[in-house]
Amino acid sequence: MYALRAKLIYYMKTFFTALFVLILTGITLNAQETFPVNGAHDERANFYFLTNGTIHINPDEIVENASLVIRNGKIVSVTSETSVPDGAIVKDLDGKHVYPSFIELSTTYGIPAATMKGPRPSKQEFSSGKKGAFSWNESLIPEYDASTEFDHDEKAAAALRKIGFGTVLTHRDNGIVQGSGVLTTLQNDRPHKTILNPRASSHLAFSKAKTYQSPPSSQMGMIALLRQFYLNAEWYEMAGKNETTNLSLAAWRNLKNLPQFFAVRNKLEVLRAARIAQEYNNVYIIRGTGDEYQRAAEIAQTGMPLIIPVNYPKAYDVEDPLDGDLVSLAQMKHWEWAPKNLAVLAEHNIPFAITSDLLDDKKQFLTHVRKAIQYGLDEKSAMHALTTTPAQWLGEEDRLGQLKEGFLANFLITDQPIFESGAKILENWIQGVPDVIQSPDSDLADQKFDFTLDHASFEATINRKANKITLVSPDSTKLEGTVREELDRITFLIKTKSGDYLRLLGYRSENGDIKGTYQDGSGDQKSFQAVLQEKESSDKKPAKDSMEVITPMTYPFTAYGRPALPDQRTVVIENATVWTNTDRGIRTNTDVLIQDGKIAKVGNVRAPSDAIHIDGTDMHLTPGIIDEHSHIAINNGVNEGTLASSAAVRIGDVLNSEDINIYRQLAGGVTTSQLLHGSANPIGGQSALIKLRWGAPPEDLKFEGADPFIKFALGENVKQSNWGEQNTVRFPQTRMGVEQVLEDHFTRALEYGDKKDRGIPYRKDLEMETLLEILNGERFITCHSYVQSEINMLMHLAERYDFRVNTFTHILEGYKVADKMKEHGVAGSTFSDWWAYKYEVIDAIPYNAAIMHDVGVLTALNSDDAEMARRLNTEAAKTIKYGGLTEEEALKLVTLNPAKMLHIDDRVGSIEKGKDGDVVLWNAHPLSIVASAQKVFIDGRLYFDREKNAKEEEAIAQERNRLIQAMIRVKKGGSPTQKAERTPEEEYHCDD
């Protein structure tokens, strides 16, 4: 009975092998309905009965000793019946495991990449180079239909099949709105057969298309462009199509109801994409990058599903003590944490799929997924993330992702449960057609046999990798030979002691033994057999140890990050010299009580019992410093410096809560900063006002309820005077032109507002909405400016439009028109002493602040510089030297006065009851050059403490050392490493 079965199986194997040969030689067996056929039709049902397997219908339903019946590329049934249906080909799975093939959601498989077209223009280019009635911006390409370019790419398909994928959603990665994606199987066949849905999805990304067109130049510009695109598309469908033809906007109609896939580059971008989705009631399925654990709670709150890669970084090569310094603690920590990412996301109940995208070496895919499991991801979640979850997101849950009746016959056969270490994918069947990934018989390696060569006994050891066999007789005679396998034939060539070669030909039987015949040196035919010794215990595979990361989680995930935000406590600072910035002046030996984040009392305080006491003896307490002009904490561009107006862009969209300069500036006593758009265009972008809450996520940095501001700019930067020859074509190139740009935009805004007021249908325009807010006194201008003519111009222009400029920033010639500024009611926020770096600052003087102040202009000093912001107190002190301000007046230039300019003086800027607990305790006179901030509170929370900082610095050094040791051990253990490298911090000024 057994022999019969073995024989049957033997013949079946042979048949299968023959079948594969047919398939792999590229004969397309499945003709298309509409195609003419050369010769007789050759339709095949591919009717199989795969029996005796462990069938994983889905992660929650597993049947053992079951059979899978497939026909015409689909699953007929999963059954425990053992009778073979008539006409079915039988395959014995021999207890192997069957899983649904994986579904890849993030790939560009089979689609040609976009390329730059034509020569690079010598001048800045504003318009689209694409011919036809399409979008004005080449990065908005909803009309792109990936199926029109898709074709089967066997090399890429084979690589994906090998790691378990059967179906992929593929798209072209080009632009912000990228068009539609194709759902296809990876079967080696014509796209006619493999495409399951030619327009399955819509794809988006924070990524500029391959184009020379200048806008957008920044991520915030991309966000504004996308938001406006949604509005335009809506308008086009309602009314616009009657006025104009726009094939891009028209195309969106077919895309908007498809699943929306959004690719980002880090965890903060996940949050950014999610904000856009929420604004327009979309769901984005966001392709992340593997660092989402660093902001998991915030990402969970968005509710957006994620597609997550398993691209764990290699250890850095830090053996060289000098070069190793290049690598940052954040990078080293990420190396340790990355495999835990999926487990963290699962803990936070974030829905996710797993992708092989972004993985340099795709062969590592399963190993990396298993590593995630070792780090705490449960196996079921992993399997869902590879099968049912992506199927569901694609709306394909009725035919993909499980092994059920009517589903596509896309499945894997593995020798062990797939997440076991060392488990192999043996076959990957797609649409009922098998692809052999790895022959199950090829595991001859490391096996030992009792070998009989014509009655002589040996112990044989096969080394499969080297294709060698060693025979050792009981008397220690050693023979060596080579091994060759083809199909199921095994041949050995063994050299005898006499120098003859024995040529052995055998077949492996089901129990692993090898039997056959050989010819000896004289050509005689003899028999041999190799009986497999006790199989090396299969439980020698490494135990699935759970792995733990050692580095503590911090927010942000960088040096100086903290495990959690500081607590809001009741604090009393005792016996300090308090600079109140009120008519109470500077008060010595005074206590300040902070409760619930607010200043509760200034004077003699009887502290509540739960209060923390801080001795302020010989120390000075001032309000937190407010930087009216800052460019820290911004990601991916501070300027959307392409078109003359970028009023729709918002700095608040691209806050970088990880910028180390937040922490460094806290240490300089700064508690609030206005983050401004750069000065590359007359109408810049919308500002963001933040408190320096180091550790908080981007949205929580924002100063709650603050008035909205916008950056304008005049002079050399907007004229592109110092930008080189490429930038000489944008209007304006003169100060004359600047006025007219503003005039034109405000005129149009008025007309726009008029349309709105009169109820005439209109296209909602984010730029016009912003300008209208200015005209309505709901948004306020901070204008970069230098020379008196332009300052005067803007004040007149504003008056013509019946509003007031809120603040001139830089304003280095403010002293020349201080009286006019006072009359207009505009504030001046300037530098202490900068000049001579460009022509328009040739008349700048360090007495500027003092003159403006003395004339009665509300005056502040700002930084525009991440370094200088750390010492704004001593910048303020310069006004004592240059222009003779009093000490109190000087300090107000960087505290109360900017608070007034920003309309937040009801909250911050002075130390009085009811104001926010944003205070700084200095070790010396706060204007003196030797003063340094010892404790900095925001909202009554101790955000910076110099003593703790010193400990932190030690801890960073220790942590670095530990990780460096760990990385060197990994390298010495033979693992591949990567060269030391680092992404330097982004640092911006106005004209960057």
Q: Which residues within the stretch 727-786 sit at the binding site for another protein (CB under 8 A)?
A: 729
Among 836, 914, 972, 974, which residue sits at the site for another protein (rule: CB under 8 A)? 836
- To which H or E segment does residue 158 belong? helix 154-162
116 part of the interface to another protein, by CB under 8 A: no
Pick 207 or 570: Cβ nearer another protein: 207
Instruction: Point out which span in 214-222, 285-293, 697-705, 866-874 binds another protein (CB under 8 A).
Output: 866-874
Which residues from 897-926 bind another protein, rule CB under 8 A?
924-925
Q: How far, in Å, CA of 912 to CA of 908, rounded?
A: 9
CB closer to another protein out of 208 and 664: 664
Q: Per CB under 8 A, which of residues 607..666 are in contact with another protein?
A: 660-661, 663-664
Query: What DSSP assignment string belongs to 727-785?
Result: ---SSPSSHHHHHHHHHHHHHHHHHHHHHHHTT------HHHHHHHHHHTTSSEEEEEE
Return the number of the residue (280 or 882) whose C-beta is nearest another protein: 882
The answer to whether 514 touches 504, Cβ cutoff 8 Å, is no
Quick one: which of 274, 315, 927, 964 contacts another protein (CB under 8 A)? 927
Stretch that binds another protein, among 3-11, 150-158, 473-481, 869-877 (CB under 8 A): 869-877
Instruction: Report the residue from 132, 585, 884, 976 that binds another protein according to the rule CB under 8 A.
Output: 884
The reply to whether 851 sits near another protein by the rule CB under 8 A is yes
Strands 586-595, 571-579: pairing is antiparallel
* Long-range CB contacts for residues 981-987, cutoff 8 Å, separation at least 24: 981/316, 981/326, 981/327, 982/326, 982/327, 982/328, 982/331, 985/659, 985/660, 985/661, 986/634, 986/635, 986/636, 986/656, 986/659, 987/661, 987/866
Residues 352/355/359/361 CA torsion (nearest 10 deg): 140
Contact status: 323 vs another protein (CB under 8 A) = yes
Residue 138 makes contact with another protein by CB under 8 A: no
Q: Is 845 in the site for another protein (CB under 8 A)?
A: yes
Query: How near is the Cβ of 816 to another protein at its closest, in Å?
Result: 6
Residue 436 near residue 427, CB atoms below 8 Å: yes
Chosen residue from 837, 913, 951, 975 binding another protein by CB under 8 A: 837
Per-residue mark of binding to another protein, 233-272 (x: CB under 8 A): ----------------------------------------
The distance of closest approach from Cβ of residue 661 to another protein in the complex, given in angstroms and rounded to an integer, is 7
Distance CA 979, CA 390 (A): 35
Q: Which helix (H) or strand (E) holds 469?
A: strand 468-472
| Shortest reach from residue 795's CB to another protein, in Å | 17
How do strand 688-691 and strand 670-675 relate by DSSP bridges? antiparallel
The single residue among 226, 931, 942, 967 that binds another protein, judged by CB under 8 A, is: 931
The least distance separating another protein from the CB of residue 263, rounded to whole angstroms, comes to: 17
Contact partners, residue 887, CB within 8 Å, separation at least 6? 586, 880, 927
Which of 192, 535, 796, 979 binds another protein (CB under 8 A)? It is: 979
Q: Residue from 322, 543, 564, 760 that binds another protein (CB under 8 A)?
A: 322
Indicate if the alpha-carbon torsion angle 914, 919, 925, 927 is positive or negative.
negative
Q: Give CA 792 to chain center in angstroms.
A: 45
Q: 10 Å Cβ neighbour count for 29?
A: 13
* Of residues 538 and 722, the one with the C-beta less far from another protein: 722
Complete DSSP assignment for 414-440: ESS-TTSTT--EEEEEBTTB--BSS-G
- Total binding residues for another protein by CB under 8 A? 75
Q: Which stretch binds another protein (CB under 8 A): 50-58, 150-158, 581-589, 836-844?
A: 836-844
Taking CB under 8 A as the criterion, the residue among 123, 253, 541, 804 binding another protein is 123
In order, the DSSP letters of 64-92 are EEEEEEEETTEEEEEE---SPPTTPEEEE
Q: Residues 68-107: x/- map of binding to another protein (CB under 8 A)?
A: ----------------------------------------
Q: Restricting to residues 544-563, which ones interact with another protein according to CB under 8 A? A: 558-560
Query: In whole angstroms, how close is the CB of 850 to another protein at the nearest point?
Result: 8
Give burial (CB, 10 Å; 0-12/13-18/19+) of 47. middle
Site residues for another protein, 780-819, by CB under 8 A, read 815-816, 818-819
If DSSP codes are grouped into helix, strand and coil, which group holds residue 21? helix
Nearest approach in angstroms of CB 666 to another protein is 9
Residue 115 as a binder of another protein (CB under 8 A): the answer is no
In the bound state with another protein, the residue whose beta carbon lies nearer, of 3 and 836, is: 836
- 3-state secondary structure (DSSP) of residue 708: coil
Is 602 or 964 the residue whose CB approaches another protein more closely? Answer: 964
Q: Does the protein bind another protein through residue 450 (CB under 8 A)?
A: no
Which structure tokens are listed for 937? 């509170």
Beta carbons of 374 and 338 less than 8 angstroms apart: no
Nearer to another protein, 969 or 979 (CB): 979
Distances (CA, A) of 333 to 283, 563, 963: 31, 14, 8
Tokens of 70: 């497939």
Our CB check for another protein shows the closer of 124 and 388 to be: 124
Minimum CB distance to another protein smaller for 68 or for 714: 714
Contacts to another protein from residues 656-685, by CB under 8 A: 660-661, 663-664, 667
Report the residue from 443, 699, 867, 906 that binds another protein according to the rule CB under 8 A. Answer: 867
Question: Tokens representing 298?
Answer: 């915030």
- Residue 933, strand partner residues: 922
Which residue in the set 1, 3, 27, 930 belongs to the binding site for another protein (CB under 8 A)?
A: 930
Q: How far is the CB of 193 from another protein (least distance, A)?
A: 39
For the chain, the first-to-last Cα distance in angstroms comes to: 82
Can residue 987 be called a binding residue for another protein (CB under 8 A)?
yes
138, 269, 415, 716: residue in contact with another protein (rule CB under 8 A) = 716
441-447-453-456 Cα dihedral, nearest 10 degrees = -160
Q: For another protein, which residue of 459, 854, 888, 912 counts as binding (CB under 8 A)? A: 854
649 or 877: whose CB is closer to another protein? 877
Q: Does residue 880 belong to the site contacting another protein (CB under 8 A)? A: yes
Q: 116: exposed, middle or buried (C-beta count within 10 Å: 0-12, 13-18, 19+)? A: exposed
